[in-house]
Structure formats: structure tokens, C-alpha cells
Amino acid sequence: MNGLGPIASRLRTVSGALLGILLVTYVYTVANAPIDSVQGVIQKILYVHPPLAYGAYLGFVVTAVCGGLYLWRADEKWDRLAIAGAEVGVIFCTLMIVTGPIWAKGTWGKWWSWDPRLTVTLLLWFVYLAYLLLRSFSEGGARTARFAAVYGLVGIALIPLNYFVIEIFGGRGMHPENLERGSLGEGMGLPFLMGNLTLFVAFWWFVLARWELENLRALGLAKRADPMARAREEIA
Amino acid sequence: MSYVIAAYGITGLTLGLYAFHLLRSRARERKTLVGTQESNNG
């Protein structure tokens, strides 16, 4: 009656415990990170904004991959995992869109600029927000799941565009360039790594918890629709 | 400094509330499921 496979359930428990340790280390390393000589303390937003972006990308990749698996295997568990990936991805993307302008206001002096990276990020957010709206407004069923799977697969094309748009526009936008090896100052690598690790583990905890919830809802619907389901499940 | 606190505060609060929502919804679904099973068993 868990609603999750035993391995996935154990993974969620382990990731939850690991998250507690990582969170403490993350806060400690960010608080003790050196102050950037050019930007000042506001540069510390760097330790949360890009990790949120990677989480958002990962969520949409989970949606696309699981959508593809659903089209291939017609197994509803993949569709439910695709929903979980999209929801967590949209939450991470929303936070990326919120933390970015906070940094921009303190650095550029304005909240928003129609810079290529910012514009494509907003588009990416709208695409997967529409995916969630589609899922919540429809009755469900195989037809909706198939359409959502194709939609999720098409939407993923925006991720490489989002990542490389700065290079495509030749660095003419306002958004800083993508981080490369050596672009961080001394002592800034560890808090950045901790930010990525913490939000990566948090991402998987959220996805597994959301997947479990979706599985429980599906199980509940099936049982309400068919009182014999429990008996069949026990026999199987 | 206020911008940094705002960025981390909003992120922490949002993710914390989302985690709380997921755990509460899961508990509610489990409770409903147990109720359905008991009602199915008569």
C-alpha cells in the first residue's frame, strides 16, 4: 500500500536524510563564502540561482524521458513520473525566475530586461506551466497522457536553446555568460558545489514524493471504481 | 544583504511549503485509501 516501489521508497528516505546534512553544510559554506570584490555580497545569489536552473532543466528532462517511455511501453507509472518531473521542474523554474531578478535589481538596477536568456527562460516556464494546466484541466486517460508525452518531448527543445542562447547572440545580452571551469573566484567553488548537491538531492526527494502521491491517487481512484481491485491485487 | 536574504528566504520558504504540502497530501491519500479498503471489505 506504499504507492511506490520499494527501491524508490528507500531512495526517498535516504535522500531525505542526506538532505538534512547537506542543508546544514550548504548554509554554512554560503555564509562563510568570500565576498566578491566587484559585486559585493549580492554575488552569493549565484549559489542558489544556477542550481535552481539545473533542477528546472532536470525536471523537464524527466518529463520528456518518461513521456517517451510512456509512449513506448504504455505503462501509466511513466506518465505519473512525467507529471512529477514537470511539477518539480516548474517550481524550480519559478524560483529561478524569482531569484534572477532579485540579483538583477541589486546589480543592474532593474528587475527585468528582455535579454535573450531571460526571454527564453520565461518561454520555457510558460511551456511547462501549460503542460501542468493541461493535465489539471483534462479528465485524464490515455489520450491526454499521449498528448502530454508528445508535448513534453517537443518542449524539451527549449532547454539547449535556453542554455546556449547567450553564445548564439554572441554575448550581446545582459545575462552573465555560462559558468566554466575557473570562472569562480577562490573559495567560491565549495559553496557552489554544495548548492548544486543540495538542490540536486532536494530535486529527487521532491520528484519521488510527488510520484508517490500520484501513485496513491491513481490507486485510490482504481479502488473506488472497482471494489474487487484489492482482492485482485492480493491474489497477484 | 537584503537581496541575498530575500532570494534564499523565498527559495527556502517555497520549497519548505511544497515539501509540507506533499507530505500532508500523501497522508490524506493514504487515509482515504484505508477508508476505501475498509468500506470495500464491508
Tens digits of pLDDT across chain A (236 residues):
445 567 777 888 888 889 999 999 999 999 999 998 888 899 999 999 999 999 999 999 999 999 999 999 988 999 999 999 999 999 999 999 999 999 999 999 999 999 999 999 999 999 999 999 999 988 778 899 999 999 999 999 999 998 998 888 887 778 888 877 777 788 889 999 999 999 999 999 999 999 999 998 888 888 777 766 555 655 55
Q: How far is A223 from chain B (nearest CA, A)?
A: 7
Q: How far is B26 from chain A (nearest CA, A)?
A: 5
pTM reported for the whole predicted model: 0.90
- C-alpha separations of A100 from A111, A225, A231, B7, B32 in Å: 8, 46, 52, 9, 41
Residue of chain B nearest A195, judged by CA positions: B8
- C-alpha separations of B18 from A156, B7, B25, B29 in Å: 24, 17, 10, 16
Task: Say yes or no: A216 contacts chain B, CB-CB below 8 A.
Answer: yes
**Taking CB atoms and an 8 Å cutoff, what residues of chain A touch B23?**
209
Interatomic CA distance for residues A224 and B40, integer angstroms: 8
**Taking CB atoms and an 8 Å cutoff, what residues of chain B touch A41?**
1, 4
Q: How far is B31 from chain A (nearest CA, A)?
A: 10
Whether B36 and A42 lie within 8 Å, measured CB to CB: no
Q: Which of residues 102-161 of A touch B (CB under 8 A)?
A: 102-103, 105-106
Grid cell, residue A216, equals 496513491
Backbone dihedral angles phi then psi of residue A72, each to the nearest 5 degrees: -80, -50
Whether A95 and B10 lie within 8 Å, measured CB to CB: yes
pLDDT at residue A227, as a whole number:
64
Whether A91 and B15 lie within 8 Å, measured CB to CB: yes
3-class SS of residue A16: helix
Mutation choice for B interface testing from A49, A54, A99 by most B CBs within 10 A: A99
Backbone dihedral angles phi then psi of residue A129, each to the nearest 5 degrees: -70, -40
pLDDT at residue A232, as a whole number:
60
Interatomic CA distance for residues B11 and A20, integer angstroms: 16
Positions in chain B short of pLDDT 70: 40-42
Whether B23 and A209 lie within 8 Å, measured CB to CB: yes
Whether B11 and A30 lie within 8 Å, measured CB to CB: no
pLDDT at residue A2, as a whole number:
47
Whether A220 and B33 lie within 8 Å, measured CB to CB: yes
Whether A209 and B26 lie within 8 Å, measured CB to CB: yes
Structural domains of chain A, ranges and CATH numbers in brackets: 4-173+191-235 (1.20.120)
